[in-house]
């Protein structure tokens, strides 16, 4: 999930095409790799690879509660996936945690994740959380955001002037006034693109982005660049992850958020255990802790903008900085999205960015 500090912007940036290619490259040998049975030993140390704003706080809380040492490697999703791929079936990590179930699904298909991993606190999932679980329970959702919503500068636009559908952004009145992140660089932006393609169909979705380009669309590398352009008035409207948009709003920026009525792509945050985790017991204890009330309290209060997510645990309510507004959520099949990722990002780069 994306927050607003310079550190968090950097940690949410990834080379999506590289990450997708790395995971796809696992496929030739994955089927031959069996899952190992964890040794019956006392948990001693957890190695966590994460791209979440609350990961250090969560690691500290877990270590305090259990006495188990946590070695956290906090990085952006792209380097995280590259590191997972480099280690292959001899992982140094126990748990991974990042936004986007497409990449998790690819890792699962390559037999790199522990299957049938349903910790006791999975009973705490609400209806939304339950429906986001994969059939083999190889990864666990921890919250959702919108991959993209319409953020607008309130100095230049009134709520009544903001488009109510994605297609409304094509109006000539917004010529040269709209910006977005590059999906080949910014992690949450590919699900935004995939969501548009799901809503409109691939051909109409491509026509939509081509129309935006013809209407003067600005492409920026990351949320930070796009947000700066929006705050300064270089653009009047932007499309990026809604947790970052609400975080800017909370901090007093002249920004408000609108959700197109024809839908926004749901972006789950997920965690998973390595099939051959070095400390399987510590890994299972950690994911169970995250799904507990104590773990959720940390996640919702100590992650900056990353804490502005929709909970998937019973009894939990969103951080007050995230307003409770109606959202037409569009669910993207992670397998479908993963299969098209490289081709669609290549198309976007060749036809929209260049």
CATH (domain of 212): 3.40.190.10
In a domain, 332, yes or no: no
Least confident of 51-60, 121-130, 337-346: 337-346
pLDDT (tens digit per residue) in 248-292 = 999 999 999 999 999 999 999 999 999 999 999 999 999 999 999
Both structure tokens of 209: 């982005």
> pLDDT > 70: what percent of the chain?
89
Domain span at residue 47? 6-145+267-324
Could you give the CA distance from residue 241 to residue 160 in angstroms, rounded to a whole number? 22
In a domain, 331, yes or no: no
pLDDT (tens digit per residue) in 218-239 = 999 888 899 999 999 999 999 9
Q: What pLDDT shows up at residue 9?
A: 37
Average pLDDT of the segment spanning 86-99: 96
pLDDT-based confidence at residue 103 (cuts at 50, 70, 90): confident
Q: Determine the angle formed by the axes of helices 101-109 and 77-87, rounding to 10 degrees.
A: 10
Whether residues 234 and 303 fall in one domain? no
Q: Determine the angle formed by the axes of helices 242-250 and 223-232, rounding to 10 degrees.
A: 40
What DSSP state is assigned to residue 316?
-
User: Is pLDDT of 92 > 60?
Assistant: yes
Whether residues 185 and 300 fall in one domain? no
* CB distance 291 to 285 below 8 Å: no
Alpha helices (runs of H) in 110-201, residue ranges in sequence order = 127-132, 189-200
In a domain, 329, yes or no: no
Both structure tokens of 80: 């995280």
pLDDT (tens digit per residue) in 35-59 = 544 444 788 899 999 999 999 999 9
pLDDT-based confidence at residue 24 (cuts at 50, 70, 90): low
In a domain, 57, yes or no: yes
The residue ranking higher by pLDDT, 121 or 183, is 121
User: Is pLDDT of 8 > 90?
Assistant: no
Could you give the CA distance from residue 122 to residue 117 in angstroms, rounded to a whole number? 9
Whether residues 342 and 212 fall in one domain? yes
Phi, psi of 29 (to 5 degrees): -120, -5
Q: What is the secondary structure of 99-119 as a DSSP string?
A: E-HHHHHHHHHTT-B-SS---
Q: What pLDDT shows up at residue 177?
A: 98
Q: What pLDDT shows up at residue 27?
A: 47
Could you give the CA distance from residue 226 to residue 34 in angstroms, rounded to a whole number? 44
233 sits in the region (left: phi over 0; alpha: psi -120 to 50; else beta) called left
Q: What is the secondary structure of 54-88 as a DSSP string?
A: THHHHHHHHHHHH--EEEEEE--HHHHHHHHHHHT
Give the chain's domain count.
2
Q: What pLDDT shows up at residue 33?
A: 52
Q: CA–CA distance from 269 to each of 132, 139, 318 (Å)? A: 10, 10, 15
Average pLDDT of the segment spanning 97-113: 91
User: Is pLDDT of 6 > 80?
Assistant: no
Q: What pLDDT shows up at residue 56?
A: 97
């Amino acid at each position: 999930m994306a927050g607003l500090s310079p550190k968090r912007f950097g940690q949410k940036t990834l080379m999506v095409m590289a990450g997708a290619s790395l995971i796809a490259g696992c496929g030739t040998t994955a089927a031959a790799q069996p899952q190992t049975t964890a040794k019956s030993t006392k948990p001693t140390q957890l190695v966590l690879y994460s791209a979440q704003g609350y990961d250090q706080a969560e690691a500290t809380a877990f270590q305090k509660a259990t006495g188990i040492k946590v070695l956290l490697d906090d990085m952006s999703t792209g380097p995280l996936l590259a590191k997972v791929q480099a280690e292959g079936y001899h992982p140094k990590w126990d748990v991974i945690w990042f936004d986007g179930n497409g990449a998790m699904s690819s890792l699962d298909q390559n037999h790199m994740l522990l299957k049938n991993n349903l910790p006791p606190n999975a009973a705490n999932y609400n209806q939304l959380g339950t429906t986001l679980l994969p059939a083999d329970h190889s990864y666990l959702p921890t919250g959702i955001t919108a991959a993209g919503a319409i953020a607008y500068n309130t100095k230049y636009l009134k709520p009544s002037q903001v488009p109510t559908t994605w297609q409304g952004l094509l109006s000539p009145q917004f010529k040269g006034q709209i910006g977005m992140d590059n999906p080949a660089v910014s992690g949450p932006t590919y699900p935004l693109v995939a969501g548009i393609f799901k809503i409109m169909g691939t051909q109409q979705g491509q026509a939509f982005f081509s129309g935006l380009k013809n209407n003067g669309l600005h492409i920026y590398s990351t949320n930070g660049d796009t947000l700066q352009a929006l705050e300064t008035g270089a653009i009047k409207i932007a499309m990026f992850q809604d947790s970052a948009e609400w975080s800017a709003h909370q901090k007093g920026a002249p920004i408000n958020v609108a959700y197109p009525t024809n839908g926004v792509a749901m972006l789950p945050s997920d965690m998973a255990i390595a099939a051959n985790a070095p400390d399987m017991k510590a890994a299972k204890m950690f994911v169970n802790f995250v799904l507990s009330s104590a773990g959720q309290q940390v996640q919702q209060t100590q992650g900056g903008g990353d804490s502005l997510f929709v909970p998937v645990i019973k009894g939990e309510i969103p951080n007050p900085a995230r307003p409770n507004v109606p959202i037409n959520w569009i669910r993207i099949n992670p397998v479908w999205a993963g299969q098209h990722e490289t081709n669609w990002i290549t198309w976007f780069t060749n036809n929209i960015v260049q």
